[in-house]
Amino acid sequence: MPHAFKTTHSPLMYGLIKLHSRLDADLQKQKKNLEHVRAVIKIVSPDFDVSSIKPKRTNQLSPFFKRGEAFLLALDVLREAIEPLRPMEIAVAMLAKKGVSKPTAMERRAAWNAVKNTMDRYAGKAVRSIGHQHARRWSICP
């Protein structure tokens, strides 16, 4: 009579072991697929250097703002401002609106990146920059 499978692990640990096993199998399959693609590239173009292919970069989502929310918050901050603001000033005000009263350096940097990217995208359309590229201040277009 075959032995019944006995687990000595907690349900959480059992689930993690199963997840690891499945992900490892998927990874092995993807590595095999990648080797096939490399082989086909070598057949089509033997002189091509496969190591020159860079992995696709994935965008990291902001931990504070949903898609499109950063620009709307930045506009709110600029509407309330008396004078044009620097991107870091906008970022800190946006974090305050989200309830982050004392942001860390990493949080300020993440918010600053969101401000910089959205302001550059909407420059001349909804917002305008004043000053040199590296010392700009932003305001709403009249």
Share the mean pLDDT of the chain. Answer: 84
Within-domain flag for 28: yes
Number of compact structural domains in the chain? 2
CATH number of 93's domain: 1.10.10
Assess whether 88 and 133 both reside in one domain: yes
List, for residues 109-120, the tens digit of each pLDDT value: 888 888 888 888
Assess whether 40 and 73 both reside in one domain: no
Assess whether 80 and 43 both reside in one domain: no
Within-domain flag for 97: yes
List, for residues 10-57, the tens digit of each pLDDT value: 888 888 888 888 988 999 999 999 999 999 989 998 998 888 888 887
Q: Domain limits at 103?
A: 69-140
**Residue showing tokens 């949903």:** 66
Assess whether 77 and 33 both reside in one domain: no
Assess whether 86 and 135 both reside in one domain: yes
Give me the pLDDT at residue 6, please: 56
Name the nearest CA neighbour of 62 among 100, 103, 113, 105: 113
Give me the pLDDT at residue 130, please: 85
Give me the pLDDT at residue 54, please: 86
Give me the pLDDT at residue 1, please: 44
Strand partners, 123: 127
Within-domain flag for 5: no
Q: Is pLDDT above 70 for 4?
A: no
Stretch 59-88: mean pLDDT: 85
Assess whether 36 and 77 both reside in one domain: no
Q: Is pLDDT above 70 for 133?
A: yes
Give 141 or 49, the one with higher predicted confidence. 49
Instruction: Answer whether 0.75 is exceeded by the pTM.
Output: no
Within-domain flag for 81: yes
Give the whole-number percent of the chain exceeding pLDDT 70.
95
Give me the pLDDT at residue 64, please: 77
Within-domain flag for 4: no
- Give 64's contacts (C-beta < 8 A, 6+ positions apart): 70, 94, 95, 98, 100, 107, 110, 111, 114
Within-domain flag for 38: yes
Within-domain flag for 6: no
Helix/strand/coil (H/E/C) assignment for every residue in the chain: CCCCCCCCCCHHHHHHHHHHHHHHHHHHHHHHHHHHHHHHHHHHCCCCCHHHCCCCCCCCCCCCCCCCHHHHHHHHHHHHCCCCECHHHHHHHHHHHCCCCCCCHHHHHHHHHHHHHHHHHHECCCEEEECCHHHCEEEECC
Amino acid at 10: S
